[in-house]
Amino acid sequence: MQGIYRSGNMTDVDGKSAAHTIANMAAETPVVDARLQNGAVETHCAYCALQCGMSLTVDGGESSVEVAPLDFPTNRGGLCQKGWTSADLLRSPRRLTSPMIRDSRSEPFREVSWDVALDVVADGIRSTQAKHGNDAVAVFGGGGLTNEKAYQLGKFARVALRTSNIDYNGRYCMSSAAAASNRAFGIDRGLPFPLPDLAESGAVLVMGGNVAETMPPFMQHLNAVRDAGGDVIVADPRRTATADQATLHLQLMPGTDLALALGLLHIVVADGHVDRDYITSRTTGFDDVWRVATQWWPERVERVTGVPVAAQRATVRALATGRAGRGAVVLTARGAEQHSKGTDTVTALINLSLALGLPGRPHSGYGCITGQGNGQGGREHGQKADQLPGYRKIDDPAARAHVAGVWGVPPETLPGPGRSAFELIESLGTEHGPRSLLVHGSNLVVSSPRSHRVADRLAALDQLVVCDLFMSETAALADVVLPVTQWAEEDGTMTNLEGRVIRRRAAVQPPPGVRTELEVMADLAARLGRADGFSADPRVVFDELRRASAGGVADYSGITWERIDSEDGVFWPCPSEDAPGRSRLFTDGMFPTPDGRARLVAVDHRAIAEEVDTDYPVYLTTGRILQHYQSGAQTRRVPALTDAAAEPYVDIHPDLAARHGMANGDLVRIVSRRGDAVGKARLTTAIRADTVFMPFHWGGEQAINRVTNAALDPTSKMPEFKVCAVQLERVDSQPAMEPSGAVVAGQA
Ligand code: SF4
């Protein structure tokens, strides 16, 4: 059924009094199990890591769901357009409601019963593993899965499938920041403090983040800094909506964030802003770091990055002044992280924050702005190829023994580390790679770099199984598609960008024919002879997760659903039910490293993986826009969002456009050595004249990830999404559309 908007602020950040309703919904939608306030279910948004608090009021008589924002600490009564319209997902006419299989990929799907579909999957797994070994079956998860599903998926891979090959799309999101945080601080939690602390800071440097579009209610916290007389500095090749509201914009050349970070550290030292006491008492490695930074004097940094010396100095002055006053914060997001040197870039920015003595001070420190809804929790409990629950390392004998004990299996039966996301995809269908793949909560055909090659790898599989809400681009390539529950149809927990564990509450019944992914895993495990230990009850799974995480870095053992319900969520680490979760990290002067000190690590700038040249003379950078989330799988099914943003645009400077004979609205083909994509030219002086930008939420010919570079960061295995060399062509014909008339996509 089509959604009807009764009221609601559809374009603004935080229309606090408005509400948004879907009417004429097809099925009755009684409350299932929920925290009720005046008849409304309190839960959180379907999409990003801000996890805005919202209430869903279900009117059985009208069969409608009304969305209203809550005064939750991250959103304080605000929602973005995606949040306001999120209930539209619940009764989308394009929702999958029956399992589907086909005998060959040249045939159409046919609907079958769950028993038939699950038997096909289980038979495929058994025959693949009998012929090729356990690692021949792989699992690809997602950063939008609840903690319970992410945990169970990791266990399912290691215990039911006994495969080492599991990874997830969060590898494309925060993995560089995670790797850098772990090596510097011994812990990886997006923000080291509750988000409202940010508003109390005197200066914030945002490296490569555009929260005004990706998570608009976040802007309340940034704008509070500015409105109180503080500084907000944004480093981005584009003058984004976030940069527009900043006190200073550093319009650096794509791929030069690391050089800028080294240059800022140089000025910190040269101008006498280093916190010597802090460096001496709380850190190691400063001298090695300085030996590199000494080479990055301001004029050299200006030549490499394009950021004027005066702006570099102003940035350092602002951070030092902020530190001396209310506090100073350095934040990174995908713009700085999605590079083949992303881990080192974040490391350099952590070094900067440590040289200023920020981590552990009030309203100060380094943080990563997490992207996906459960990007934080999704990377803590075993979806990553090298991890076990609690952020434990899978090659650590003590960690293996602990988790194996909780799972009731001998430690030696647990597989070792597997392949990272893109390496896993590259290996699919190859001689020694997996022959069968199970996909949960991910549309890797749209979200992976060099994406048409990803489709080739999927085509080489013996069996592809996709669990999804919609017929995503990835599901459309599958042998088996299993329709699963979403967001307001299920209970569970999420961990937001602050490290706050929150409750996702069921408000409506799922459509008939749809199952939860916990049920799918339990049913498959039973068919594979592992009936015990795979509950379909999320509360039971969470209680097991607590035990599995106990003693780990991400310790959830003291967190219960009841505590989350009675508080505004609970921060991890939380090792005791009798003590509060640790909302602010490092305030006791110690870091969770072997010697209690933070580690500065010497890193140096290096060139991007693919420089521009005469054949490919323009830089491409990619990102998100206000109306869409990740691969667009969900948001491209919401009419209000597709009405507002139906197709991708290409931001191009008028000078560059003139050189190519292009005008506003022309179709532009962006071509790299890997592939091409088409979008509509949007002439703007907000972008550098050597760079074009295109958002990545669309599939087909509009998928810019056909163009992006899969060069990986050696530590985090993050692909270089954010910069590559391209050429531009003006085209006259429209790109091919999916049969539905709108370019279709999948989850994540
Ligand atoms: Fe909030 Fe993100 Fe949802 Fe927007 S998409 S309402 S910012 S959680």
Domains detected in the chain: 2-89 (2.20.25.90), 100-172+374-571 (3.40.50.740), 178-368 (3.40.228.10), 618-732 (2.40.40.20)
Residue spans of alpha helices (H) in 437-578: 444-447, 451-459, 517-527, 538-549, 561-566
Ligand 1 touching residue 50 (CB < 6 A): yes
Interval 692-713 mean pLDDT? 94
State the DSSP string of 557-574.
Answer: TT--HHHHHHTT-EESP-
CA dist., res. 195 & res. 197, Å (int): 5
Ligand 1 touching residue 52 (CB < 6 A): yes
Ligand 1 touching residue 80 (CB < 6 A): yes
Return mean pLDDT, the chain.
91
Ligand 1 touching residue 48 (CB < 6 A): yes
For ligand 1, atom 6, the nearest C-alpha belongs to 83
Question: Can you give the pLDDT at residue 193?
Answer: 97
pLDDT digits (tens, 9 = 90+) for 371-394: 889 989 998 999 999 999 999 999
Question: Can you give the pLDDT at residue 688?
Answer: 94
Interval 462-469 mean pLDDT? 97
Ligand 1 touching residue 203 (CB < 6 A): no
The dihedral formed by the CA atoms of 68, 74, 80 and 82, expressed in degrees to the nearest 10: -80
Split at pLDDT 50, 70, 90, the class of 61 is low
Question: Can you give the pLDDT at residue 23?
Answer: 35
CB atoms within 10 A of CB 584: 16
The neighbouring-strand residues paired with 100 are: 111, 481
Interval 154-178 mean pLDDT? 93
pLDDT digits (tens, 9 = 90+) for 601-651: 999 999 999 999 999 999 999 999 899 998 888 999 999 999 999 999 999
Ligand 1, residue 74: give the atom nearest the CA.
Answer: 1
Ligand 1 touching residue 428 (CB < 6 A): no
Question: Can you give the pLDDT at residue 174?
Answer: 85
Question: Per this entry, what is the length of the chain?
Answer: 748
CA distances to 173, 254, 337, 449, 493 from 208, in Å? 13, 10, 8, 19, 29
Please tell me the distance between residue 114's alpha carbon and the centre of ligand 1 in angstroms. Answer: 33
Please tell me the distance between residue 470's alpha carbon and the centre of ligand 1 in angstroms. Answer: 21
Best residue for ligand 1 mutational test, from 10, 11, 20, 48 (most atoms within 8 Å of Cβ): 48
Ligand 1 touching residue 51 (CB < 6 A): yes
Question: Can you give the pLDDT at residue 379?
Answer: 87
Asked if 670 and 677 count as a contact pair (C-beta separation under 8 A), the reply is yes
The region of weakest confidence among 23-37, 57-71, 278-292, 711-725 is 23-37
Question: Can you give the pLDDT at residue 738?
Answer: 46
Ligand 1, residue 44: give the atom nearest the CA.
Answer: 8
For ligand 1, atom 7, the nearest C-alpha belongs to 215
Q: Residue 198: CB partners within 8 Å, gap ≥ 6?
A: 191, 204, 221, 222, 224, 225, 329, 363
Question: Can you give the pLDDT at residue 59?
Answer: 82
Question: Can you give the pLDDT at residue 574?
Answer: 97
Interval 666-673 mean pLDDT? 97
Residue 734 burial class via C-beta count within 10 angstroms: exposed 0-12, middle 13-18, buried 19 and up: exposed
Residue spans of alpha helices (H) in 25-95: 81-84
Ligand 1 touching residue 671 (CB < 6 A): no
pLDDT digits (tens, 9 = 90+) for 285-327: 999 999 999 999 999 999 999 999 999 999 999 999 999 999 9
CA dist., res. 61 & res. 55, Å (int): 18
Ligand 1, residue 216: give the atom nearest the CA.
Answer: 7
Question: Can you give the pLDDT at residue 581?
Answer: 95
* pLDDT greater than 90 at residue 364: yes
* pLDDT greater than 90 at residue 739: no
Asked if 524 and 463 count as a contact pair (C-beta separation under 8 A), the reply is no
The neighbouring-strand residues paired with 33 are: 506
Question: Can you give the pLDDT at residue 422?
Answer: 87
Which residue type, as a one-letter code, is found at position 537?
D
Question: Can you give the pLDDT at residue 570?
Answer: 97
Split at pLDDT 50, 70, 90, the class of 578 is very high
Asked if 92 and 85 count as a contact pair (C-beta separation under 8 A), the reply is no
For ligand 1, atom 2, the nearest C-alpha belongs to 48
The region of weakest confidence among 2-16, 212-226, 315-329, 493-507 is 2-16
Q: Map tokens 């997490």 to a residue.
A: 370
For ligand 1, atom 1, the nearest C-alpha belongs to 52
More confident residue, 543 or 735: 543
Ligand 1 touching residue 82 (CB < 6 A): yes
Question: Can you give the pLDDT at residue 354?
Answer: 98
Interval 473-495 mean pLDDT? 96
Split at pLDDT 50, 70, 90, the class of 35 is low
Ligand 1 touching residue 45 (CB < 6 A): yes
Question: Can you give the pLDDT at residue 29?
Answer: 35
What is the three-class DSSP state of 315? helix
